[in-house]
Structure 1
Amino acid sequence: MSKIQAVRPLSPAALPARVLWAAFAVVATMLLLTYLVAFDQGAVSQSGMFLHELMHDGRHLLGVPCH
């Protein structure tokens, strides 16, 4: 005869703090890059429109209006 046992739900394993900080750093970096490529109109760079001109072709490639 076989015994029927109740299945206990598995508790989610806690991620190490190092992995969480690395994930946070990656997300923050990607958000900053997205802002610089898509929305910066010279407010961040001290030399005026340097970033705008640097990212100009990338903006058009992604379909982000910049004019």
Structure 2
Amino acid sequence: MAQSIAHPVISPADAGTPVTPLPLRAVLPWAVFMGTLMLVLLYFVGAEQGATSVFSGAGVHEWVHDGRHLLGFPCH
């Protein structure tokens, strides 16, 4: 009969490495950058066509067409 051996979970505190929190001043610029990037991507996937389009033609629409359907945006 085989016995199961439980491996102990070693946290950084148990290993002697102190865990220090990141200051908000270091995280905030990256959070703002990622939020802005996500809003720009959401615009291109969700609204870049028709009357609100920034670029003429259907090039952007064709590049994000499958993403539109995946996220539930109507485009036909």
Provide runs of 4+ in structure 1 moved above 6 Å. Answer: none
TM-score computed with the length of structure 1 as normaliser: 0.65
The number of residues matched between the two structures is: 54
Offset from partner CA, 1:16-60 (integer Å, 9 cap, x none) = 4231111000000001101101111162235x1111011111111
- What amino acid maps onto 2:66 in structure 1? D
- Which segments of 5 or more consecutive residues in structure 1 lack a partner in the other structure? 1-12
Q: 2:73 aligns to what? A: 64
Q: 2:64 is matched with which residue? A: 55
2:32 maps to 24
Q: Which residue of 2 aligns with 1:38?
A: 46
TM value normalised by structure 2 = 0.59
RMSD value over aligned CA atoms? 2.1
